[in-house]
């Protein structure tokens, strides 16, 4: 008698094996057999007509605060994610001195657009050191497995105080202490260390994240501490400017310490082909013995602009600013008034800098997100608001206004910023097929007011494997392996990501034909009624964690089999022997 038997499913095993029909037996949270299962199960699920995949492993999330109060970690868990890695981009909540709680909250709020009031109300701060943070996470029930990294910003502020917060150079003594703390955190179970070296990441007060300008000796000292422990990934968000200098220390550190380095890579509108240079440098570094991998995204990093979003094209206009404080329902009543509409459209926007200009006047990069065929994250130039205005003779801002007023004021405009190469998405296909990249950058739990990319796993199946019509697709087998085996292996999670005897029993049972991402919506369900964009999916018949069904038909079962992951995980004996 097995704990669970899944029968007759079309197994897509995460190892890029051609899909095959089989039964799967589970005992003690592990897969014990794949094939024809004669024995019965205490619970049996008939998966005929469904695909059965490993659970998704999302390695780039920002649930560091939410994980302390929310056992579900939605939206990620709604999209079949069974393992998340947090603590990315150098921001997080440990270590922390008792008088620096609000400072870390404001750092996270500024960098990741997570409401500070929600974090202040939700986090209970039962820790100071990083190991104590892990201990606090371990006792909470949850629906999925969670792992985290030691964040540079918190470490620097803890050791250096205001000097660290202001990005002053670290002394030799500072580096010794920071390295000790990172080593202690990795030894306690962190999967690695993260830092930010991009000017896009600013605290709420406008200051760059601590560590943005860290010198090579600081980074190397931390890398050596990780190497001494014997595991851990060095994760980085960086402008890579100049790229050759960044790769020089990355290569040196990885080659000396054996620590893998991974960095975020998105196509830039100002340097359209720079991603090719980054991948060439990555390939060169690996040829010289460094373990360097680029983290990539499966669609543009795009903002969802609506009346309740953090920003929209009218946020800088005087009449709208007079209404902005009103409750949403009352605000919409005013915005429906033709006189108010005319007044807002007649006004110039206040100056908001180069990025602000794109967000408020970049009509050639604004698109209707919801089409008759579904959500369009690969819009064509001829579908832009600017093109529509030229074709109809309307003013582009009037078109945007009316689109935002759809669905009782819940309409959205999509504005892709990064990874949107002159209305051509072949570069994303090429990145995903490159041997030195890994799928990442969903930012689950972050950018609550303007981005919702936690739906990446579902998008990979619906768009890249099934529905894409403009350009090449990817095989279903590759799409599954990219977000199971490949993401898990980068972080040493060798016990999951494939369907084979000895592996962790995390699965998604999916009605592939019905699988669909639903439209984003604004919810106010964080502590202190904090807002966040959420996005649901349909077609997930069941999600299973450690052999326990956690979601059925998109609804939570109430089971909480999720655990805190401490350090690398090893495969079962059956796999290790292969």
Tell me: do 271 and 350 sit in the same domain. Answer: no
Mean model confidence pLDDT for the chain: 95
Tell me: do 331 and 447 sit in the same domain. Answer: no
Counted domains in the chain = 2
Question: Cα dihedral angle (338, 341, 343, 344), rounded to 10 degrees?
Answer: 170
Last residue of a domain, one of 367, 401, 417: 417
* Distance, CA of 432 to CA of 438 (rounded, Å): 7
Token digits of residue 352: 């908001």
For strand 145-147 and strand 150-151, is the pairing parallel, antiparallel, or unpaired? Answer: unpaired
pTM of the full predicted structure?
0.96
Last residue of a domain, one of 396, 417, 438: 417
The enclosing domain of 239 has a CATH number of 3.20.20.140
For residue 191, how many C-alpha atoms fall within 13 Å in the half-sphere facing its CB?
Answer: 26
Tell me: do 257 and 139 sit in the same domain. Answer: yes
End-to-end Cα distance, the chain: 26
Quick: pLDDT tens for 192-224. Answer: 999 999 998 999 998 999 999 999 999 999 999
CA-closest candidate to residue 266, choices 290, 303, 238? 238
* Distance, CA of 24 to CA of 71 (rounded, Å): 27
Report yes or no: 445 and 62 within 8 Å, Cβ to Cβ. Answer: yes
Tell me: do 130 and 252 sit in the same domain. Answer: yes
**Is 578 exposed, middle or buried, given 0-12, 13-18 or 19+ CB atoms closer than 10 A?**
exposed
Token digits of residue 392: 């109809």
Which whole-number Å values give the CA distances from 338 to 88, 254, 352, 358, in the listed order? 46, 61, 27, 26
Token digits of residue 261: 């380095």
Tell me: do 103 and 197 sit in the same domain. Answer: yes
pLDDT score recorded for residue 577: 34
Token digits of residue 71: 């056992």
Tell me: do 290 and 367 sit in the same domain. Answer: no
| Sheet bearing 437-439, strands edge to edge | 150-151, 192-197, 233-238, 261-264, 292-296, 437-439
Tell me: do 178 and 325 sit in the same domain. Answer: no
Tell me: do 463 and 362 sit in the same domain. Answer: no
Last residue of a domain, one of 385, 417, 449: 417
Quick: pLDDT tens for 345-404. Answer: 999 998 888 888 888 999 999 999 998 888 999 998 899 999 999 999 999 999 999 999
Report yes or no: 412 and 454 within 8 Å, Cβ to Cβ. Answer: no
pLDDT score recorded for residue 7: 98
**Is 348 exposed, middle or buried, given 0-12, 13-18 or 19+ CB atoms closer than 10 A?**
exposed
Q: What is Dmax (Cα atoms) for the chain?
A: 74
Tell me: do 85 and 204 sit in the same domain. Answer: yes
Tell me: do 242 and 381 sit in the same domain. Answer: no
Q: Is the dihedral of CA 196, 197, 201, 203 positive or negative?
A: positive
Which helix H or strand E contains 82, and what residues bound it? strand 81-85
Report yes or no: 325 and 291 within 8 Å, Cβ to Cβ. Answer: no
Q: What single DSSP character describes residue 567?
A: S
Tell me: do 269 and 373 sit in the same domain. Answer: no
* Distance, CA of 244 to CA of 221 (rounded, Å): 20
Stretches where the chain sits below pLDDT 50 are: 573-578
Q: Domain span at residue 571?
A: 1-299+419-494+501-578
Tell me: do 429 and 555 sit in the same domain. Answer: yes
Show Cβ contacts of residue 174 under 8 Å, excluding neighbours closer than 6 positions. 159, 160, 163, 164, 218
With H, G, I as helix, E, B as strand and everything else as coil, classify residue 164. helix
Which whole-number Å values give the CA distances from 286 to 39, 75, 230, 261, 340, in the listed order? 47, 35, 20, 11, 59
pLDDT score recorded for residue 351: 84
């Amino acid at each position: 008698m097995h704990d669970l038997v899944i029968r007759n499913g079309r197994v897509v095993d995460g190892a890029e094996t051609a899909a095959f029909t089989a039964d799967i037996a589970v005992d003690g949270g592990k897969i014990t057999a794949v094939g024809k299962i004669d024995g019965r199960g205490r619970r049996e699920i008939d998966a005929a007509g469904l695909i059965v995949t490993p659970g998704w492993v999302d390695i780039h999330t920002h649930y560091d605060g939410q994980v302390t109060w929310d056992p579900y970690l939605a939206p990620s868990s709604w999209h079949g994610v069974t393992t998340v890695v947090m603590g990315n981009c150098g921001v997080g909540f440990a270590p922390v001195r008792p008088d620096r709680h609000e400072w870390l909250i404001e750092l996270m709020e500024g960098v990741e657009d997570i409401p500070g009031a929600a974090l202040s109300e939700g986090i209970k701060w039962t820790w100071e050191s990083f190991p104590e943070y892990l201990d606090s996470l371990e006792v909470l029930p949850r629906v999925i497995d969670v792992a985290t990294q030691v964040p540079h910003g918190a470490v620097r502020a803890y050791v250096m105080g205001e000097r660290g917060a202001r990005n002053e150079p670290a002394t030799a003594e500072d580096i010794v202490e920071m390295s000790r703390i990172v080593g202690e955190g990795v030894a306690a179970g962190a999967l690695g260390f993260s830092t930010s070296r991009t000017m896009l990441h600013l605290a709420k007060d406008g200051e760059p994240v601590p560590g943005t300008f860290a010198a090579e000796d600081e980074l190397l000292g931390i890398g050596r501490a990780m190497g001494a422990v014997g595991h851990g990934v060095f994760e980085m968000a960086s402008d890579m400017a100049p790229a050759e200098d960044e790769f020089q220390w990355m290569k040196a550190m990885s080659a000396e310490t054996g620590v893998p380095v991974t960095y975020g890579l998105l196509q830039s509108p100002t340097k359209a082909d720079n991603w090719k240079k980054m991948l060439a440098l990555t390939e060169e570094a690996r040829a010289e013995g460094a373990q360097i991998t680029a983290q990539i995204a499966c669609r543009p990093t795009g903002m969802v602009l609506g009346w309740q979003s953090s920003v929209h094209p009218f946020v800088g206009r005087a009449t709208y600013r007079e209404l902005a404080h009103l409750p949403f329902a009352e605000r919409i009543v005013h915005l429906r008034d033709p006189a108010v509409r005319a007044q807002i459209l007649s006004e110039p926007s206040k100056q908001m800098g180069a990025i602000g200009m794109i967000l408020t006047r970049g009509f050639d990069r604004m698109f209707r997100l919801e089409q008759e065929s579904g959500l369009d994250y690969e819009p064509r130039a001829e579908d832009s608001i600017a093109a529509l205005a030229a074709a109809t003779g309307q003013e582009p801002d009037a078109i945007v206004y009316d689109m935002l007023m759809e669905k009782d004021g819940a309409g959205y405009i999509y504005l892709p910023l990064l990874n949107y190469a002159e209305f051509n998405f072949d570069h994303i296909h090429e990145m995903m097929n490159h041997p030195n990249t890994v799928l990442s950058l969903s930012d689950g739990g972050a950018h609550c007011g303007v981005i919702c990319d936690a739906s990446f796993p579902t998008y990979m199946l619906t768009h890249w494997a099934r529905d894409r019509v403009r350009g090449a697709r990817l095989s279903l087998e590759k799409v599954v392996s990219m977000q199971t085996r490949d993401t898990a292996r980068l972080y040493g999670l060798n016990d999951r990501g494939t369907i084979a005897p000895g592996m962790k029993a995390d699965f998604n049972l999916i009605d592939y034909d019905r699988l669909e991402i639903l439209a984003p919506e604004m919810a106010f369900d964080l502590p202190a009624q904090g807002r966040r964009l959420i996005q649901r999916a349909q077609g997930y018949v069941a999600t299973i964690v450690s052999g326990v069904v956690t979601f059925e038909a998109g609804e939570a079962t109430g089971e909480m089999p999720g655990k805190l992951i401490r350090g690398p995980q090893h495969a079962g004996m059956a796999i290790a022997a292969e």
